[in-house]
């Protein structure tokens, strides 16, 4: 039963980070892109999910240093899929600065 409780907490964390990611994308990143001359139109949801997952990954990494007893967090940090998605989210957020538009 304890493992289901950890999965529920992880699901709630993901939903909260989607909300935080949306707020950061709409309020902060939109202004950063527009000040760099990048129109904030197109597949903005890719940027939203990228920033949400990047913040979630930072949260996971920081908590791994603070508390070491969470088994799911340990498995997440050793997962290759986790690191591939972190890399893809970083690329997805910073590519528009190099090509001048949101290409996705």
CA distance 60 to 57: 5
User: For all residues of the chain together, what is the average pLDDT?
Assistant: 88
pLDDT tens digits, 59-93: 988 988 888 777 778 888 889 999 999 999 999 89
pLDDT at 1: 65
Per-residue pLDDT band at 7 (split at 50, 70, 90): confident
pLDDT at 3: 81
| DSSP conformation letters of 51-99 | HHHHHHHHHHHHHHHH----HHHHHHHT-HHHHHHHHHHHHHHHHHHHH
């Amino acid at each position: 039963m304890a493992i289901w409780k950890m999965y529920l907490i992880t699901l709630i964390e993901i939903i909260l980070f989607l909300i935080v990611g949306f707020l950061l994308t709409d309020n902060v990143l939109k202004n950063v892109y527009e000040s760099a001359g990048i129109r904030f139109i197109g597949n903005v949801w890719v940027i939203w999910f990228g920033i949400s997952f990047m913040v979630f990954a930072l949260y996971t990494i920081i908590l791994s240093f603070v508390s070491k007893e969470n088994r799911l967090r340990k498995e997440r940090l050793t997962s290759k899929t986790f690191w591939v998605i972190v890399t893809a989210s970083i690329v997805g957020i910073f590519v528009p600065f190099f090509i001048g538009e949101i290409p996705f």
